[in-house]
Amino acid sequence: MKAWSFSTESHPRAERAEAWRDAMGRLGLPIEGLSAGEPAAASVICLTSPLGIEFALVEAGAQTISGRLSGQPAAVWLAVLLHGEATLVTDDLAVGVSPGDIAFGPTGQAAALRLDTRSRLLFVRAPRVALDHRLIKPFNLRVGWLEGSEGVPRILSDLLRGTAEELENLSVDQLRPVDLALTEFLAQCLLERGAAASDALDPSTPTAHLQRLCQTIETLLPDPDLSLRRVADEEGVSPRYVQKLFASANETFSHYLRSRRLERCRIDLASPQHARLSISEICFRWGFNGSAHFSRAFREQYGRSPREFRNACEAGVSRDLTSALALKPASVVPSLSALNS
């Protein structure tokens, strides 16, 4: 199911605690500290987006969401507190989480989020494959938190809180623009933390500048004449410096540019919102100069032609972009295993 909901009030009193554990287990969120008797009223509303990102609005009484389930796909989880008081706990961290703050971490790493009062929060689980193409510089991700009061984390927090307030009224397709915005802002937040960690070890690593270059490229993708010199001019640096930045990540400007254009085309090919656009129109809108060249590049990167990919999506063989992303051979993933599983 793409969307589902749960409420303890729909179960007999004697079965509510176990039913709640099952519902949270379905989200990959084992719970502790729940009395054997009837828990306070608790509910979940869950939608899975076209990119395979899971949004779950949870309202529950005091309890601890703790531990990890084995066999989960590599992903990044987020929890933004909407109301109440909570504490994020790991082996070397214990920090109070205020409304608007965002706790995060990779699946497979033990952590606990203790709800100290009755709370309302939005859990998000983003498959790593949905983020890899935006994380060009490798770094190790650990459980942490983002203060949602300033900078990019505030924008991300506002996006998540707005999504939570409207989740009951959204369709899966309406989550598509949230998908794209979320991956951009989340990648930026994670890269900023990764840049800080790597700069502490090696101050000469220009991770932050590389990320700014990638953002500049992202805004200029539709320009068919986009060149290394154009990007260098936009950033006020030399073309050779841009080449060196990409080389530091074992990447090249031309390969990264092509990969990003192909990724944008693939998203549009799988989107019902762009079903009326021809394949040629899609490739031209993302900066390719010819449909024949685009088709060859698409097949080389994803193992099938654009038409085959679109037909598979329309036929339901790929029910969402997570399935489609599995078409990407590991040898062409530009992110270089950016996150730990």
What per-residue confidence (pLDDT) applies to 167? Answer: 93
Q: Supply the CATH number for residue 70's domain.
A: 2.60.120.10
Tell whether the model's pLDDT for residue 145 goes beyond 70: yes
Please report whether residue 140 resides in a domain.
yes
Q: Are 270 and 321 in contact (CB under 8 A)?
A: yes
179 in the same domain as 43: yes
Q: Which of 172, 196, 220 lies at the terminal end of a domain, its last residue?
A: 196
90 in the same domain as 146: yes
Tell whether the model's pLDDT for residue 38 goes beyond 90: no
Please report whether residue 339 resides in a domain.
no
Q: What would the mean pLDDT of 73-99 be, rounded to a whole number?
A: 90
Please report whether residue 42 resides in a domain.
yes
Tell whether the model's pLDDT for residue 184 goes beyond 90: no
Please report whether residue 341 resides in a domain.
no
- Domain count within the chain: 2
What per-residue confidence (pLDDT) applies to 159? Answer: 96
Q: What would the mean pLDDT of 165-192 be, rounded to a whole number?
A: 84
Measured distance CA(17)–CA(19) in Å, rounded:
5
The confidence band for 107, taking pLDDT boundaries of 50, 70 and 90, is confident
What per-residue confidence (pLDDT) applies to 334? Answer: 37
Q: Are 183 and 129 in contact (CB under 8 A)?
A: no
239 in the same domain as 158: no
322 in the same domain as 236: yes
The confidence band for 339, taking pLDDT boundaries of 50, 70 and 90, is very low
What per-residue confidence (pLDDT) applies to 229? Answer: 95
Please report whether residue 235 resides in a domain.
yes
What per-residue confidence (pLDDT) applies to 2? Answer: 59
272 in the same domain as 135: no
186 in the same domain as 146: yes
What per-residue confidence (pLDDT) applies to 103? Answer: 93
Please report whether residue 280 resides in a domain.
yes
128 in the same domain as 59: yes
What integer best gives the mean pLDDT of the chain?
81
Q: Which of 161, 196, 231 lies at the terminal end of a domain, its last residue?
A: 196
pLDDT digits (tens, 9 = 90+) for 196-234: 554 443 434 566 678 778 878 888 899 999 999 999 999
The confidence band for 76, taking pLDDT boundaries of 50, 70 and 90, is confident
The confidence band for 300, taking pLDDT boundaries of 50, 70 and 90, is very high
Tell whether the model's pLDDT for residue 121 goes beyond 70: yes
The confidence band for 70, taking pLDDT boundaries of 50, 70 and 90, is low
Percent of the chain with pLDDT over 70: 80
Tell whether the model's pLDDT for residue 336 goes beyond 90: no
Tell whether the model's pLDDT for residue 261 goes beyond 70: yes
What per-residue confidence (pLDDT) applies to 83? Answer: 96
Q: Supply the CATH number for residue 303's domain.
A: 1.10.10.60
The confidence band for 281, taking pLDDT boundaries of 50, 70 and 90, is very high
Please report whether residue 290 resides in a domain.
yes
β-strands 119-127, 75-83 pairing: antiparallel
163 in the same domain as 60: yes
The confidence band for 105, taking pLDDT boundaries of 50, 70 and 90, is confident
Q: Are 103 and 145 in contact (CB under 8 A)?
A: yes
Tell whether the model's pLDDT for residue 139 goes beyond 70: no
What per-residue confidence (pLDDT) applies to 264? Answer: 87
Please report whether residue 255 resides in a domain.
yes
Domain limits for position 161? 3-196
Tell whether the model's pLDDT for residue 195 goes beyond 70: no
156 in the same domain as 13: yes
Q: Closest Cα partner for 324 from 279, 267, 253?
A: 267
Select the more confidently predicted residue: 75 or 24: 24
Q: What would the mean pLDDT of 2-29 be, rounded to a whole number?
A: 88
296 in the same domain as 191: no
116 in the same domain as 263: no
Tell whether the model's pLDDT for residue 62 goes beyond 60: yes
216 in the same domain as 185: no
Q: What would the mean pLDDT of 99-115 be, rounded to a whole number?
A: 89
The confidence band for 255, taking pLDDT boundaries of 50, 70 and 90, is very high
Q: Which of 196, 215, 239 lies at the terminal end of a domain, its last residue?
A: 196
Tell whether the model's pLDDT for residue 1 goes beyond 80: no
Instruction: Tell me the whole-structure pTM to 2 decimals.
Output: 0.68
